[in-house]
Amino acid sequence: MRLRVAKKMYDRIYHIRLENFELQAERILDSSLRTRPIAIISSHHQNGSIVALSPEAKQEGLYRGLKVSVARRMAHGVSLLPYNTTLYAKLHRYLYQAVSSYSPVAEPAAFGQYYLDMNGMRNIYRDDIQAAHLIARDIRSRLSMHSQIGISANKLVSSISTAVVPEMIYRVERGNEARFLAPLQSQVLPVAGEKTVCRMIRFLFLDRVKNIQEIVSQPEPGRALFGAYYRKLTMEANGRDNSMVQPPQLQDHIIEQTVLQSDTNDEDILIATVRNLAEQLAYRLRRRCQVARSLRLEVHYTDGFKKSCSGAVRYNDDETVISEAIVLFIRANYRRNRIRSILLDATDFKAVSGQLEMFRDNRPDRLSVTLDKIRDKYGFGSICSAESLLIPKVRTNMTRSSTEKSRKSTEILNVLNNNFQCNSGFPQWVSV
């Protein structure tokens, strides 16, 4: 009897990298930039830095990471473009949909980078090189963008290959990972970015990966030098990576955002806008009977700069959410520039505990529940804080006929009198 031995199917992980993705995106949007020296900066603020730049800008002496204030003095003919996150995110999602058609398992990474798990796809594509050519040609035909594809048995080696090899398609055969990494600089290993590991590498002059391979091959001195990072450094130096290609997972979010009618740095209007957003967020949290263990506030400035701060809310009443949102806004808004948009993003939800706390005043909860009854009946904009009237958009939306206002005012006040007795500890205002 003959035993049939199945041919082993080696895992093939593709890493697709679009070099200078931001630069290519800007030149697609504006064809006049294709021959001009341009640099994409994180912010027009003097502490901003260059994120990406064209070869023409490199000839002017600029380089990635250079401060904007220095770049302006060095090269006056280089166009400094703000980092357009919206444009890059749209192109990134579009390309992800394109490359994910070649494999059922695709993972987006940073802007312009993707992982594909091509294991089991040999019956569809003749070989790995042919499949890589099809993907690169598809990207070129869709957006005229140049891409590089690295092929190996794991995500680590395939991503390093696209970063160090200039060829459009490069394959590292299984078993040759350590030999491929040996002549490269030590900084290509992700764990080399850790402060402790970086200091030890510099102290020992471990310039190449092969020098690290020699040290970690001996467990005792390796553990003494690198401590808790020894195991991870050993795996990366020898080209071993157990991480899997994982498609993006949807995360539950509650997002409240407003774009101001006109850019402003008026603190009164901005605080009123934050309060209005926080009230809407708290209202939606109470509808779900949940609290958010992660709350992020983003401030978008006129010049394209963005700043965010994160916190959490333990309770879902208006007072708690508004207080936390204002604290985050004050921390995030440290510039004098005018603000265009403010965003609140709540995630990591947890059910509200039904048990009353002994040392917490529950009057804010009762007030919020009473306001919710009015909003459920007449709409969210039927009742608001007096500060909300400072917002131009809210003031415009609040204009109604005098008859309708007087009728609703009477009904709202009746609801308040029947459901809640105003206490001296609460601000006694009602705006309709």
* Lowest-pLDDT choice from 44-48, 72-76, 287-291, 424-428: 424-428
User: What pLDDT was estimated at residue 2?
Assistant: 44
User: What pLDDT was estimated at residue 17?
Assistant: 95
The pLDDT of residue 16 is above 90 = yes
User: What pLDDT was estimated at residue 367?
Assistant: 78
Higher pLDDT among residues 244 and 401, named by residue: 244
How far apart are the C-alpha atoms of 99 and 128, rounded to whole Å?
A: 15
Residue that is written with structure tokens 């992700």 in the block: 190
Indicate the pLDDT class of residue 72, thresholds 50, 70 and 90: confident
User: Which residues of 250-408 form beta strands (DSSP E)?
Assistant: 254-264, 290-301, 306-311, 339-351
**Which residue from 372, 350, 196, 183 is spatially nearest to 283, judged by alpha carbons?**
372
User: What pLDDT was estimated at residue 364?
Assistant: 72
Indicate the pLDDT class of residue 140, thresholds 50, 70 and 90: very high
Q: What is the tens place of the pLDDT at every residue in 20-61?
A: 899 999 988 888 888 889 999 887 777 778 888 999 999 888
Structure tokens at 393: 């958009």
Inter-residue contact 110 to 91 (CB < 8 Å): no
Q: In terms of DSSP bridges, do strands 13-17 and 38-41 run parallel, antiparallel, or are they unpaired?
A: unpaired
Q: Which 3 state secondary structure label does DSSP give 53?
A: strand
How far apart are the C-alpha atoms of 194 and 69, rounded to whole Å?
A: 29
pTM here is 0.66
Q: What is the tens place of the pLDDT at every residue in 246-268?
A: 888 766 788 888 888 888 888 88
**How many CB atoms within 10 Å of residue 383?**
22
In the predicted model, what is the mean pLDDT of the chain? 82
- Find all residues with CB under 8 Å of 412, minimum gap 6, and list them: 374, 378, 382, 383, 430, 432
User: What pLDDT was estimated at residue 250?
Assistant: 67
The top-level CATH class assigned to 254-419 is: alpha beta
User: What pLDDT was estimated at residue 418?
Assistant: 52
User: What pLDDT was estimated at residue 356?
Assistant: 56
Domain ranges of the chain: 13-171, 177-237, 254-419
What does the pLDDT average to over 128-137? 91
DSSP state of 126: S
Residue that is written with structure tokens 């995110």 in the block: 89
Identify the CATH number of the domain defined by range 13-171: 3.40.1170.60
What does the pLDDT average to over 263-284? 90
* Lowest-pLDDT choice from 139-143, 237-241, 253-257: 253-257
User: What pLDDT was estimated at residue 4?
Assistant: 42
**How many CB atoms within 10 Å of residue 225?**
20
The pLDDT of residue 3 is above 50 = no
How far apart are the C-alpha atoms of 429 and 162, rounded to whole Å?
A: 62
- DSSP string for residues in 71-88: HHHH-TTSEEEE--HHHH
User: What pLDDT was estimated at residue 422?
Assistant: 41
Structure tokens at 5: 């031995």
User: What pLDDT was estimated at residue 397?
Assistant: 42
Q: What is the tens place of the pLDDT at every residue in 149-183?
A: 999 999 999 999 999 999 999 999 998 999 999 99
Q: What is the tens place of the pLDDT at every residue in 347-395?
A: 888 887 665 565 566 677 777 777 778 777 777 777 777 777 777 764 4
Percentage of the chain beyond pLDDT 70 is 85
Q: What is the tens place of the pLDDT at every residue in 394-420?
A: 444 443 444 444 455 555 445 445 544
**How many CB atoms within 10 Å of residue 190?**
14
What does the pLDDT average to over 335-346? 88
User: What pLDDT was estimated at residue 398?
Assistant: 43
Q: At what angle do helices 209-216 and 219-226 cross, to 10 degrees?
A: 120
User: What pLDDT was estimated at residue 372?
Assistant: 77
What does the pLDDT average to over 75-86? 85
